[in-house]
Amino acid sequence: MNADKNSQGSSSTGRQADAERPSGARIGSAYATSSVPNPVARTPRPERTDRTHRQRVAVVIPAKDESRRIAATVRAAKAIPHVDLVLVVDDGSDDNTQDVARDAGAVVVRHSHNRGKAAAMETGAAVVAMRDAADRAPRLLLFIDGDLAETAVNTAPLVAPVLDGVADVAIALLPPQVGAGGRGIVVGAARRAIHSLTGWTPTQPLSGMRCLTRQAFEAATPLARGWGVEAGMTIDLLRQGYVAVEVPCDLRHRPSGTDFRGQMHRAAQYRDVQLAVAARRTKAVAGRVSGKKSVTR
């Protein structure tokens, strides 16, 4: 994620972002949800089945080679209100991410080889489900990156809109990041694709800091692979009538620069977003065709 991506609306306040969206509803007076109207939702917003006042939150941290920052991230995540489980999914790291995370107080599971961020998220959600109590509402899932360090605690504002039922998924809007080298190409492509398939224009379509209900998470599975996960999830949820909201969070992470490594990373992001979108376009077309057939029958 980079300053350019972040600045496209998110250096703006939530209120400015809201003003850019004709179809946005407001939460209080601050920021926009995807809900009103949702032009392509095939069903009304699914009813929440899990709300209780005492609902807990699991933080899930997909992490590949994050040994330098993961301890601070874990400790900060543990300080978020309502959180009673911090789970690190070590996605086949070559460094000692798993040991550092465990020492910092996380529950840690590990992929024996690298499987990509989306797979780490699925593993994390499965492990949380195993630890959810049968007699309590399933935990909300708060996905955050491993490189947020101390600022991870500032994902706390993502919980309230979901806990309160205002949205099914709350997505962090980051401030501009020092050292970021993106040119908005992947971000712009993802934003336009999400808009064309859902009618909603997210400010930061690649933002992976997201809190969502178990019900919404299940509705978004199987997740799009790798770096396509955020765009795929947003499209899948909105098309099913779930409601998203972007919430400003004061986060700092390790942005991709302009070096070769940064450009290769962007190429992989672009590829994965395009694959996720293409699959969803195909599904949307197939849905329209089968819908027409059933009307003419």
Ligand X SMILES: O=C(O)[C@H](O)COP(=O)(O)O
Ligand Y SMILES: O=c1ccn([C@@H]2O[C@H](COP(=O)(O)OP(=O)(O)O[C@H]3O[C@H](CO)[C@@H](O)[C@H](O)[C@H]3O)[C@@H](O)[C@H]2O)c(=O)[nH]1
Residue 48 interacts with ligand X (CB under 6 A): yes or no: no
Considering only 21, 64, 191, 266, the residue that binds ligand X (CB under 6 A) is 266
Q: 91 touches which of ligand Y, ligand X, none (CB within 5 to 8 A by kind)?
A: ligand Y
Number of residues that bind ligand X (CB under 6 A): 16
**259-275 as b/e, with b when 16 or more CB fall inside 10 Å?**
eeebeebbeebbebbbb
Considering only 4, 66, 236, 246, the residue that binds ligand Y (CB under 6 A) is 66
Contact characters 181-210, ligand Y, x per CB under 6 A? -------------------------x-x--
Dihedral over alpha carbons 129, 95, 73, 211 (to 10 degrees): -40
Residue 227 interacts with ligand Y (CB under 6 A): yes or no: yes
Question: CB of 185: closest distance to ligand X in angstroms?
Answer: 4
Residue appearing with tokens 């694959």? 275
> How far is 229 from 147, CA to CA, in rounded Å?
18
Residue 173 interacts with ligand X (CB under 6 A): yes or no: no
Residue 33 interacts with ligand X (CB under 6 A): yes or no: no
Contact characters 114-133, ligand Y, x per CB under 6 A? x-xx--x-------------
Q: Name the site residues for ligand Y (rule: CB under 6 A).
A: 1, 62-64, 66, 91, 114, 116-117, 120, 145-147, 206, 208, 227, 230, 253, 256, 265, 269
